[in-house]
Amino acid sequence: MAAADIDFPNGMVVSPDGSTLVVAESHGHRLTAFDIANDGALVNRRVWADLGDDSPDGICMDGDGAIWNADVPHRCCRRVGEGGEVLHSVQLDRGCFSCALSTGEQPELFVIATEWNGFEHMFQGPPTGIVVAIDAPSPGALAEL
C-alpha cells in the first residue's frame, strides 16, 4: 500500500516533473499532496489545499501549477492554487464529476457533468450527462520529457 487513511479518494494528478502526486479527497474537502520518492514511495504527506466545504471529485493540473477540481454537490469546477486560494470558478446547472484541460494557445477546460440526485436514484430517468467546453486561463500541464 502506498498511502492510507484517504477520505473518499477520487481524482489524482502527477506534477509535470513527476515529483508530486496530488489526490482529491471528496469527503475530506481537500487536495492532499505526496512527494514521489525515487523508488516510487509516497512521502511527505501534506494538505495541498483545504477546500472548505467543497467536495473535489475529478481534478487536473494546469501549466501554471494550479489545480481544477470538479465538485458534484456544488455544481461547479474551481481552479485553486496551492494553499487553497480560489483563482477561477465555473458554475453549471448540474453536478461536475471530472475535468480536463487542452493545451495550446487557446486552452479549454472540459467538464463532465450530470444531474445528481444521489446513489439511490442514479439509474432512474433519462441520461443527463454532458461535456462542456469553457475557455481556460492556462493550458493543461505537460509532462517533462
pLDDT at 62: 97
Task: Over range 48-60, report the average pLDDT.
Answer: 97
Amino acid at 70: A
Q: What is the C-alpha separation between 45 and 37, in angstroms, rounded?
A: 12
- pLDDT at residue 119, rounded to an integer: 62
What CA–CA distance (Å, rounded) separates 117 from 106?
34
100: domain CATH number is: 2.120.10.30
Q: Assess if residue 2 is contained within a domain.
A: no
Domain-located, residue 83? yes
Which pLDDT tens digit goes with each residue over 103-133? 989 999 999 999 877 666 666 778 889 999 9
Mean pLDDT for 85-89 is 98
Specify the number of domains making up the chain: 1
The reply to whether 79 falls in a domain is yes
- String of DSSP letters for 105-142: SS-EEEEEEE----GGGTTSSS---EEEEEE-SSPBP-
- Sign for the CA dihedral angle at 83, 62, 3, 7 comes to positive
At 122 the pLDDT is 63
Residues spanned by the domain of 120: 9-135
Q: What is the dihedral of CA 142, 26, 69, 128, to 10 degrees?
A: 110
State the CB neighbour count (10 A cutoff) for residue 106: 8
Q: Quick check: is 45 in a domain?
A: yes
Q: If we measure between CA atoms, which residue out of 87, 90, 94, 58 comes closest to residue 73?
A: 94
